[in-house]
Structure 1
C-alpha cells in the first residue's frame, strides 16, 4: 500500500446477523451512520453472515489520525478481512459506503494478498466518482429540509426537524459531519476513481433510486458502465436510500444477483 494502514479499533461497534460459517457480507454505511443500513444487514442475514461496522469517527467512535481518506479506510477494511481469514466476501455499500466498497474492489485487484478475498460488490447510490455533467450535490450546503428533498422520493418521510434533537444527538451529528469531511472531503469524490473502476474483476451490481438528487441515476449508470460487466438496477419511487424507501423493490434487485453462482 502507498500509505500506512490506519488501525481499526478491535472494539469497533458491529451489528451482525445470520449464520456464522455462511458467506460473509460486509455492509458499509454512508454519512447517515450505521442505522441507515441496519435493514440491509437484517435482510441479508437470511442467506449470509452479514456484518455492519460503524466506521471510525462516526457515532462517537474514535478516528485514527491516519484515517484521512476513503482509500485508507478501504485499505484498513481489506486488511481486517484478510486478518480474519475471510474469502469470497460480498461488499454492500450505501452512499459513501458504496464508494468504500468500490475502492476496496479496486485495491484488491492490485495486491496478490487479496486474491479471492472479494467475491461481489453491490453499490447502492454510491458517491465517490467524478462524472462529467452529473455533480455530486453539495451535501454540506444543505439544511435538513434541503437534504430531505435531495435524498428522498418522499421528502416528508425523510425530513427530521433538527429542533427536536437533544444536545447529545446534535453533538454526534456535528462530529459525523467532521469525519465525513476528513475522510470523503467536501466534494465527496475522488477524481481518479472512475478511471480506476475498469480494474474491478468481480460481479458488480449498481442499485439506484430513480429520484436520487444527491447523485442522479445518470451518474449511477456512468459508474456501472465503468465497471466491466456491471449490472444497473433503478428502483422506482425511491431516492438516495432505496433500501429504506422501497425495500421490496431493492431486495428484488439484489437477491437474484447474489443468488447467482
Structure 2
C-alpha cells in the first residue's frame, strides 16, 4: 500500500491510499460499496494480463481518513484525476463497479471537457448513479446481509455472509464502510441530474452489466448506454451486481477487447 498526499481543488488536502501493481496499459480500478476487497482479485487478473493497475481506497473506507468536505462522487472524481496526474499517467482506462462506476462516469464527463485529461476511456460495471423510472434501486441501508446477497448475485449461496461468524474487526470495518457509503451516495444511490449530463461524454465508454443484477437493475445499464454517445453495452448472463467476483474471466475478456481498440500506444507514464 502507498499513500499519495494530494491537494485537490475545491477540497484541499486529501490523503489517498492505493495499490499499484503490474506494468503496461494503465488502469484505474474503482471499488464499490463492498470495499476494496471486492476488486482485489480482479486487479490481480488485470496485472497478470499486462495492465498497470492503480486501486485506490475511497477515503473513509477501510479505516482511511476522509476530509469533512469530501462527500460527493464528483469530489471523488476530482481526487482521482489529481492522483493520476500525481502518478504521471495518461491514456488511463477507468474501470468502476457500482459507486465506482458512478465515479468513473464523473471522470468521463471531466475528461470530455478537459484537453490533456489523464483519462482516455471508461468501463462502467453495474454502475450506480442514475435515477430510472420504473426501475428503482433498493434502499441498501435497510437490507440485511442475506437480502443484499439475494439482490447482488446470480448465485447468492456462494457469497452469503454469516454475521455471527464474522470477526469483530471485519464487522467494524463493514459498519464504517456503510457509513462512508451513505455520506457519499445517500439512500437513493443516484444523482438526479447525471442522466441529463451523459450526452456530454466524448471518451469511449463500455457499459458491462450482470443480467442477474437486482441491486442496480439492468434498465440502468441500458440508460447509461443509451445516454452516452457511442457507448457499447455488454451483458453477462451468469453475473449479478459484481461480475468481477462471479465471472472475472468474462469481465477481463470484455475489458481486453475494449482496450485493444481504445488504448493508444506510448501512453501511461513512469512510476513515481
Q: TM-score range by the shorter chain?
A: over 0.9
* Alignment correspondent of 1:133: 134
The structure 1 residue matched to 2:28, chosen from 26, 29, 35, is: 26
| Alpha-carbon distance in 2 for matches of 1:152, 1:18 | 29
Q: Which has the higher contact order (CA 8 A, sep 6+)?
A: 2
Structure 1 residue 247 displacement after superposition: 1.8
Give ranges in structure 1 of 5+ residues lacking alignment: none
- Cα deviations by residue, 1:150-207 (Å, 9 ceiling, x for unpaired): 0011111121011112221121111111101111111111011111111111111000
* Alignment correspondent of 1:206: 207
Secondary structure of 1:181's match?
Answer: helix
* Alignment correspondent of 2:20: 16
TM-score normalised to structure 2 length: 0.89
* Alignment correspondent of 1:228: 229
Counting only pairs closer than 5 Å after superposition, residues 1-261 of structure 1 correspond to structure 2 as 4-9=10-15, 12-19=16-23, 22-45=24-47, 46-112=49-115, 115-261=116-262
TM-score normalised to structure 1 length: 0.92
User: What count of residue pairs does the alignment treat as equivalent?
Assistant: 253
| Alpha-carbon distance in 1 for matches of 2:119, 2:17 | 22
Secondary structure of 1:8's match?
Answer: strand
Structure 1 residue 137 displacement after superposition: 1.8
Secondary structure of 1:25's match?
Answer: strand
Structure 1 residue 6 displacement after superposition: 4.5
- Cα deviations by residue, 1:112-144 (Å, 9 ceiling, x for unpaired): 4xx342111011001011112111221111101
Which range moves more in the overlay, 38-47 or 185-194? 38-47
Give ranges in structure 2 of 5+ residues lacking alignment: 1-8, 263-272
Distance 1:6-1:34 versus aligned 2 partners, 3 A rule: farther
| Alpha-carbon distance in 1 for matches of 2:86, 2:19 | 19
Secondary structure of 2:53's match?
Answer: strand
Q: Which structure carries more strand by proportion?
A: 2
| Alpha-carbon distance in 1 for matches of 2:217, 2:154 | 12
Secondary structure of 1:194's match?
Answer: helix
Secondary structure of 1:260's match?
Answer: helix
Secondary structure of 1:97's match?
Answer: helix
